[in-house]
Structure 1
């Protein structure tokens, strides 16, 4: 057992792995992470599946079988990914039974639907029914078009992982969509205790974009602000979460679960920063931290838990943002760029996945 990851879990942080592949499932790697590394959930995205399906040969037999049945590329992708997610859900069944908010496995709607409300809502239902496990989370992006789809899915009793959240204003809209969905679900007689949700607040990408702009400015004050925006943004998010989920609106929803903040994009991209930065500085009881394997291994090796490093830091965060504005950082523009890039990156990965499967099908026909 990794004692450092165990300490992180004991501090109230749910450790989720940001990766899934058939190799992890079939070799027992994921089972070992559950047993030895305090891993209590998994997140996936189109990039992860593109890498998994494009590497090795563990999917070949299933692709050949589906190809022989005349399945389309999209049907094959859905079958491959939902089978992996279903198997992972089953692997986490005991974790989920013990702690229903955990033992979760996420699967994302097609990124090309990011600006299509109805298409997103329809595919959320399709994936929910296809995986057919109570511990699956359907990932829906926090785009303007995604917000009503989040509400619609929640209203139907679907548990949602809201992804691609970068800023506080959008995060507040995400929480509002979740609460509105719960209110509709309650009116329809759905047991609110069965609905779970996380809000994936992206971290390292914020520093990558802001730091590049600070370096372009180049002043001493600007350079001194590098590596501070992402954490400050997350600390603000936690303060907003505390406000919303202690409100009368939420407490009136009998049996409802909070929508836990999930720290995403926690792999450190700048080698000048500590490789556990977005874990050690985001420790607070009641959050999820989904980590790539490299970050998880780094924390297991030398990460430190020093207590709650988030609560009460909004004033400090506000000072950081005031300083960023003073040196000329337009954070609203940063958020637009990050959301556009986030969608585009997942679309590119999806296109790569389509081409990979198309090639594999072509070789079997």
Structure 2
């Protein structure tokens, strides 16, 4: 994999982050090599990828045997595996974290998806995980449910960095941004340094286009107009979130926090699927090469960008934002209410996270049983 387009993406002011942490990648120094050669500046965990690695690679057999001998539960084993992978990734990204003075080089780690509707339990697990990982560039992932947003504020107030996930609409992003502001204000009131407190707001854009395109295909009227709208909803959402982000940076409330060292909550475009071959695979990533944002993607997507990407830094204008507003509003002509789509995607995202977490527990349990026998 050549790194020319990834280098161009990074040099345009975009943070390139890897999706998926596991021992198989670490065994060959994979993440360190991606940091060194492919301009990767962050990473996010993926319980589904870890479950697949447990099932296929045998890379965790020694650790699982040791955990089995201690008689730990599957839940405790998953926490240990997750923390170990996160710790190693944090170490690989430590040079980036130092060189950027904490602005980049973060590793965001998934919490137990079953806690998404329990703010207090989420905060408790976030504390325990950050303590176990024991690295300054470790952050936690919290979904943007009503309860999750309360946990976001509480974690940030304690100095725990947060990647807010499952954002599907500009309106939900407004709430995530408010949770970020409230958390930083509480941290400042408690006398905490704001500079080290990292946060990102993650939009799984591929899921937005997939959902809207399916509804457009079912519309049955205005076929040519519906076809023209396919593949445009996610970019419209991203632009409108960016409009809100840039306006927010001019507010007295934010400027007061920034004067005390606070960093903005970075917009993060999440690619959680492996793309089809060819130039179309990288379209969304190249269209979103917006300075100050971040892209998280599997290694296969990085290869596609390296092979087929044509990165040009983007500058969005008032015209871009207005056109995006009109695009989302036009969906109503086909009986599609985007607020309903976003709500359904949030519920679907929670179910998918639950399924991934259960698949991880299911992968760990037999290995622990075998280790005890």
Q: Same fold judged by TM-score > 0.5?
A: yes
Match of 1:162 among 153, 161, 164: 164
Q: Are residue 262 (structure 1) and residue 268 (structure 2) matched?
A: yes
Native 8 Å contact 1:204 1:269 kept in 2: no
Q: Which moved more, 1:161-170 or 1:310-319?
A: 310-319
Deviation string 1:142-175 (CA, Å, 9 cap, x unpaired) is 1111010000000001111111111111100000
Shift of 1:307: 2.4
Structure 2 gaps of 5+ residues are none
Q: Are residue 340 (structure 1) and residue 344 (structure 2) matched?
A: no
Native 8 Å contact 1:282 1:309 kept in 2: no
Shift of 1:2: 1.1
TM-score (norm 2): 0.95
Shift of 1:53: 2.2
Shift of 1:352: 1.0
Native 8 Å contact 2:277 2:304 kept in 1: no
**Superposition map of 1:1-365 within 5 A:** 2-99=3-100, 100-218=102-220, 219-253=223-257, 254-265=260-271, 267=273, 274-312=280-318, 313-365=320-372
Native 8 Å contact 1:96 1:135 kept in 2: yes
Native 8 Å contact 1:203 1:265 kept in 2: yes
Native 8 Å contact 1:45 1:346 kept in 2: no
Alpha-carbon spacing, 1:52–1:247, altered in 2? closer, same or farther (3 Å): farther
Q: Distance in 1 between matches of 2:325 and 2:263?
A: 29
Q: Distance in 2 between matches of 1:43 and 1:53?
A: 18
Deviation string 1:158-214 (CA, Å, 9 cap, x unpaired) is 111111111111100000001000000000000111111111112010000000000
Aligned to 1:347, the other structure's residue is in SS state helix
Native 8 Å contact 2:278 2:308 kept in 1: no
TM-score (norm 1): 0.97
Considering only aligned residues, what root-mean-square deviation do their CA atoms show, in Å?
1.5
Q: Distance in 1 between matches of 2:228 and 2:293?
A: 29
Q: Distance in 2 between matches of 1:249 and 1:150?
A: 18
Shift of 1:88: 0.8
Length, aligned pairs only = 365
Aligned to 2:32, the other structure's residue is in SS state helix
Aligned to 1:195, the other structure's residue is in SS state coil
Shift of 1:243: 1.3
Q: Distance in 2 between matches of 1:350 and 1:340?
A: 15
Deviation string 1:66-111 (CA, Å, 9 cap, x unpaired) is 1101111111111111001001101111111001121111111100
Alpha-carbon spacing, 1:327–1:309, altered in 2? closer, same or farther (3 Å): farther
Q: Distance in 2 between matches of 1:335 and 1:229?
A: 11
